Structure 1
Amino acid sequence: MSKSLDGVTMIPPEKRARHDNEDSLSELPDCVLLHILSFLNSKYAVQTCVLSTRWRYLWKRIPTLILHSSKFSTMKRFATFVTRILTRRDSSVTLHALDLQRMGIIETKLLKVILNYVCSHNTHIQRLGIDFTADSCPIMSCVSKCRALTSLKLSIHPTCYMTESLFPESLNVPLLTSLDLTHFTFCGGENGCAEPFSAFTKLNSLVISNCKVKDAQILSISSETLVDLIMHSFSFKFPKTKLSTPSLCTFTFTGRPVQKICGNGLSSVRQVNIDAKDFPALMEYALVLLTWLQELVRVESLIVTSTTLQVLSLVPDLLEVKFTTLCNLKSLEVELIPFHYDSLLYMEKAVLKKVAAKSRKEAAKLRKAFKAGLRPSPIPDGIVDFLLQNSPSAKVNITTAHPSSFNLNQVEESVKGVKNISYCSQFAAHASPASAAESASAAVPASAAKLEVKTHDIEMVIA
């Protein structure tokens, strides 16, 4: 009968021996097996020790630790697993990467153990990812010691809105090429600007989410090497973003377009992705969004959501604006996003206000239609033609993950003047439920229907 260790069913020795004779994977050299195991969550990597005697201690020499609490049934089991794997891992093997995700508030004792372990490998660790909730965190003092870092991802969620995680004005990690920050505060200097990234001379990719600026009016992003910039937020607490990024190729934004972009701005960008939130929909946001589009001198690919177009449509007399940009546009993709109830009310109110400024009679008709159940078109009339005024031959693709939320005829009517246009297959699939079911069935391999792997009860194997 099999034995159990920490809730894990162990394979009897006689069965292991039988498997050893048929296991060609185990004949691979250690370096190959360790490379394969580096891609696994550490919980599953440790579980491979039950496969055979060949695998029993391999997990101790994996150079990567992926520790996610979502893979454990309780936080206590997760904490126990993390503590044990750090103490029983082969200390002579350098740690190259650590990815920690702890749902909720992390225990102070556990955090201290993890950070001490990272510091003990500070001269070799290259990739570090930390994601948890805490009031205060000594993580930056640990990061400052890791001079070999090339990739850093930090998401320190506050327990209340008053809590701040300050990002240091100068962080000496000279090899850093990728930086991803969530819920951080950047402090301003004497010149009225916050310049938190100027020391990263090799930075290639930057992601900032729900970050704030303190004691400054401008967030300055200055980098000769930055290629990709992603900004996620529903409200940045500063009015301007200054870009000095001559190599920037891709710009992605999600949230409320609050900040004006100055400096050389978006003039070098080739691909732009914008998802402007429509709750609340304000004319101020629409005007900022328009200034962004007027900066796109070299853009070739523009991806926007329908809510972005809804916000943009609030610009007074928008269709009469003449662009000098968007001349090199080769493709325009519009992703249709369903209105949430609150967003719908805000958008209807904003549309009525815009129509009423021209004709109260037309506004009264529209108000009556809204009450009768009419919904604003997901793509405002004429707005796609407006974006293509300097690139009429650009390809247009309409996509959605929610085909049941839209009337295809209404969508087609709003872009009827566009010639080079295509629609995603979801619309056709939704029109034919049977074909949709067949497509879904075809997408799943037949073998998957017969395969059932039960690992939710397996929390840990550390011999």
Structure 2
Amino acid sequence: MEHHVKGITKKQEKFHLDGFSGFPDCILSHILCFLDTKSAIRTSILSKRFKHFWTLSPCLIFEFSGFSPKKYVKYTSHVMAEEDQASVESFKSCVYNMLKQREHTALTKFHLSLHEDGGSTFIEDCAFYAAQHDVQDLEIHGFTRLKPATLPRSLLTSSSLINLHLHNAYGRGIELPKSVILPNLKVLRLNKFEFSDKKYDGWLSTGCPSLECLVLSNCWIHPGDKFTDLDLNSPNLKNLEIGYWSCVWDCMDTCMINVMAPRLSFFKFVGHLVRVNFKEGLPCLDELFIDLYCPSLYLCTVVHECRELNGEFLIHLFHQISFVKCLSLSPNTIEVRRLTDSVFNAEGLISSFFNLCCSFD
């Protein structure tokens, strides 16, 4: 009995000493999910129990920003060794080493951020590893100077993927998938991608039936292409954000984003000069935020036309959002409104908002 009490006392002392040893594996594994991979690996020095514990973490987060190999400890046998030179190659080497040592369990999250040229093969290998381990949340910020990375087919047809964020750094790094079948994808964020007839088959409408949130940032339609309309037919879409859409001046009258989303409750638009058409109205729209402005780099004559087009866009949009409950307009949008008084005066659109409870920021 005395021996048993002493055993309990030692366990209690050990728990109070490091604050973790008394927790079961499931709780410790959950705690590691809140750490980036660098910090998770650092826990290996806490005790023998933690030496290999990071290899069980379902979350992998690799960031090159501010990378120093001394922060990423390479574990070889029972010896902790440190790299000396901070570089992309040493970062890639550390990532490959960690993937090799990790237990082959399913991934909840895999984030890779590399805004330096890491080569397409490295990005493809990371994406393939994530797909092979049934990743649910995948985020890749990638850049390559030569050949863009092609995402593996196993990822583009994954049934486990729920959240996908692709950041095409500097517009060169990741090739836009031409065809995608992601039955359970709910959140999609695309940054700096070009839509064209050769690179895109309309999978935003046909390949993501469960999509609830879509964010398109710094994207564009290839100028002069047969493909002029981006159709977003999403029956379950609730959140849509379009930011800084790029459009060549000569194509402004031809390019269009057509949205058919009967359950859409939030729409945010930031930027200028892109036509958005809601085909069947927005009966469920609760909140709308608009930050509409004219680019300062255009010639004075073009700026005047931009203002007119922005005003027309605003009028066209207001005709489609009469059921919105909360309307937020940025100071930039107010300036566009001031320069196009017809938006409010002649059209009398404000009075047509049936459910509006707040208006201007």
Q: What TM bracket, shorter-length normalisation?
A: 0.7 to 0.9
- C-alpha contact 2:219 2:245 (8 A) present in aligned 1: no
Q: Say if 2:263 and 2:283, in contact at 8 Å, map to a contact too.
A: no
Partner of 2:232: 221
Q: Is the 8 A contact 1:254 1:275 kept in 2?
A: yes
Q: How much does 1:208 deviate?
A: 1.0
- Cα deviations by residue, 1:253-301 (Å, 9 ceiling, x for unpaired): 1111421414124453110111113324521112112221222121111
SS in structure 2 at match of 1:221: strand
Contact 1:295 1:325 in 2 (8 A): no
Q: Unmatched 5+ residue regions in structure 2?
A: 1-12, 69-85, 249-253, 297-302
Measure, in 1, the Cα distance between the counterparts of 2:339 and 2:32. 52
Identify the match of residue 192 of structure 2 among 183, 194, 198. Answer: 183
Q: Kindly provide the CA deviation profile for residues 337-388 of structure 1, in whole angstroms up to 9, marking residues without a partner as x.
A: xxxxxxxxxxxxxxxxxxxxxxxxxxxxxxxxxxxxxxxxxxxxxxxxxxxx
After superposition, where does 1:47-446 map in structure 2 within 5 Å?
Answer: 47-73=42-68, 74-76=86-88, 77-91=90-104, 93-121=105-133, 124-134=134-144, 135-139=147-151, 141-158=153-170, 165-168=175-178, 170-188=179-197, 194=202, 196-214=204-222, 215-236=226-247, 239-280=255-296, 282-318=307-343, 319-323=345-349, 325-334=352-361
CA distance in structure 2 between the aligned counterparts of 1:290 and 1:253, rounded to whole angstroms: 14
Give the aligned residue type for 1:87. Answer: K
| Residue 145 (structure 1) shift | 4.4
CA distance 1:39–1:115, shift in 2 (3 Å) = same
**What is the aligned partner in structure 1 of residue 10 from structure 2?**
none
Unaligned runs of 5+ in 1: 1-17, 335-463
1:231 & 1:172 partners in 2: Cα distance? 22
Q: Kindly name which structure, 1 or 2, has the bigger radius of gyration based on alpha carbons.
A: 1
Deviation at 1:96, TM superposition (A): 2.5
Deviation of the 1:140 alpha carbon: 5.0
Measured against aligned partners, the alpha-carbon deviations of 1:299-330 in whole angstroms (never above 9, x if no partner) come to 11122210111122222544333125323111
CA contact (8 A) 1:272 1:302 kept: yes
Aligned mates of 2:174, 2:48 — CA distance in 1:
49
Q: Secondary structure of the equivalent of 2:339?
A: coil
Distance, in Å, in 2 between the alignment partners of 1:108 and 1:223 is 31
The Cα offsets for residues 230-258 of structure 1, whole Å up to 9 and x where unpaired, read as 11124246532211110000001111142
Question: Alpha carbons of 1:109 and 1:239: their partners in 2 closer, same or farther (altered >3 Å)?
Answer: closer
Instruction: Work out which structure has the larger RCO, using CA pairs closer than 8 Å and 6 or more positions apart in sequence.
Output: 1
Aligned length: 308
Query: Tell me, what secondary structure is at the counterpart of 1:331?
Result: coil
d(CA) in 1 for partners of 2:218 and 2:274?
Answer: 13
Task: Compare 202-211 and 75-84 and name the one that shifted more.
Answer: 75-84
The alignment partner of 2:180 has SS state of coil
Rate the CA distance shift 1:317–1:174 in 2: closer, same or farther, 3 A. closer
In structure 1, how many angstroms separate the alpha carbons of the residues matched to 2:215 and 2:56?
A: 32
SS in structure 1 of the partner of residue 116 of structure 2: strand
Q: Does 1:41 align with 2:53?
A: no
- Equivalent residues of 2:158, 2:182 under 8 A apart: yes
Do the aligned partners of residues 115 and 260 (structure 1) sit closer, same or farther apart at CA in structure 2, a change above 3 Å counting?
Answer: closer
Counterpart residue type for residue 321 of structure 1:
E
> In 2 relative to 1, CA 257–329 (structure 1 residues): closer, same or farther, beyond 3 Å?
farther
Identity %: 24
The code of the aligned residue for 1:273 comes to: F
Contact 2:171 2:192 in 1 (8 A): no
Three-state SS of the structure 2 residue aligned to 1:179 is strand
**2: distance between equivalents of 1:146 and 1:107?**
24
Question: Displacement, 1:198?
Answer: 2.3
Change (3 A) 1:42 1:235: same
Task: Give, in whole Å, the separation in 2 of the partners of 1:272 and 1:111.
Answer: 36
8 Å CA contact 1:198, 1:221 repeated in 2: no
Distance between the aligned counterparts of 2:233 and 2:354, measured in 1? 26
Deviations 1:141-180 (A, max 9, x none): 35224332111111123466xx983332x31111111111
Structure 2 CA distance for partners of 1:179 and 1:22, relative to 1, 3 Å = same
Instruction: State the alpha-carbon separation in 2 of the partners of residues 50 and 90 from structure 1.
Output: 19
- The root-mean-square deviation of aligned C-alpha atoms, in Å, is 2.6
1:46 maps to a residue whose letter is: I
Q: Letter of the aligned partner of 2:209 in structure 1?
A: T
- Residue 117 of structure 1 aligns to a residue whose secondary structure is helix
